[in-house]
Amino acid sequence: MMKRPASDRGYEKVAHLYDLFDQKENIAFFSQYASCVEEILDIGAGTGRIAIPIAEQGVAVTCVEPSPAMRRVFQQKLTQFPHIRDRITLIADDAHSFDAERTFPVAFLSGTFDHLLDDDERRTSLINIGRHLIPHGVIVFDIFLGLMKDTPLSPAGIVQNGEREFRRFTASRSLPGEMQETQLVFETYHHGRLTERVEDRGLVGVTDRARVHSLLRETGFVVKAEFGDYQRTEFHDGDSLLIMEAEWLGGASGRHPLGGGSWSVSND
Ligand SMILES: C[S@@+](CC[C@H](N)C(=O)[O-])C[C@H]1O[C@@H](n2cnc3c(N)ncnc32)[C@H](O)[C@@H]1O
């Protein structure tokens, strides 16, 4: 099967509805990493859902985003935040090939690692991200484990916005090569009448914790912490969310990215 390019992993038709439904409470989680540095790298930044609040804290955010539709929504949102415009750089590329021509103390991927479809893509992406980190720089990313379940098209949320109601439906099926396709259907109703129906097919790769550990080791990272939720609760076997925090050891020693003697963000 032909692998779909990173620019088309399921957002082209539905990007304008993304923020309505992605209400993951992880902005505070990723912002903690930004609070200790002056600049940060957001890979798979999407609509800027996390990058914009971080830039509002005064931190410069370099964003990498391969989907043209997501970048359009991001750019459109930025017109409402002229005061942070010079703190955001948006690069049209993907995790394994982007070149920001500089290094950062922290890189994060929110909801992006799952879109890396096989170990080759995960490995080249981690190597490329490492290349963009200062020595002892930190990478943080979340992964949804156990994505292999097949499910029929079912309701997956309703959002009321003024006179309009948005309904989302999802279905998943496993594809050969440890990939999972998610069918996404969005319906918009105005005064109860269906006015728009859009459908897209998302693509994610299925992996597990042991393989991610091994890929991180192979690409010069050492795991520093693993969480099972965005409140920084320690990961336990059986958790469906795994958040990895790892330090890049691939280079020579250098300035500590998060300041002080301990590089980890505190649990307080
Ligand atoms: C679930 S969305 C998350 C967006 C944003 N990080 C957030 O949390 O709101 C995943 C994003 O990853 C992007 N993406 C998919 N494949 C990618 C790749 N290989 N490299 C970088 N980004 C990728 C998608 O275009 C999409 O914008």
Domain count for the chain:
2
| 44 Cα–ligand 1 center, Å | 3
- Which residue's CA lies nearest to atom 26 of ligand 1? 46
In-domain check, residue 135: yes
* DSSP-derived 3-state class of residue 212: helix
- Would you list the DSSP string of 142-167? EEE--TT--EEEEEEEEEEETTEEEE
> d(Cα 104, Cα 55) in Å, to the nearest integer?
15
pLDDT tens-digit map of 122-140:
999 999 999 999 999 999 9
| Model pTM above 0.95 | no
Q: Examine the domain organization and report whether 29 and 158 are in the same domain.
A: no
Reported residue count of the chain is 268
Residue 255: band (very low, low, confident or very high) from pLDDT cuts 50, 70, 90: very low
pLDDT tens-digit map of 87-130:
999 999 999 999 999 999 999 999 999 999 999 999 999 999 99
Residue 2: band (very low, low, confident or very high) from pLDDT cuts 50, 70, 90: low
In-domain check, residue 94: yes
- Which residue's CA lies nearest to atom 4 of ligand 1? 46
Q: Print the domain residue range for 156.
A: 151-205
Which CATH number belongs to the domain containing residue 88 in this structure? 3.40.50.150
In-domain check, residue 253: no
- Which residue's CA lies nearest to atom 13 of ligand 1? 44
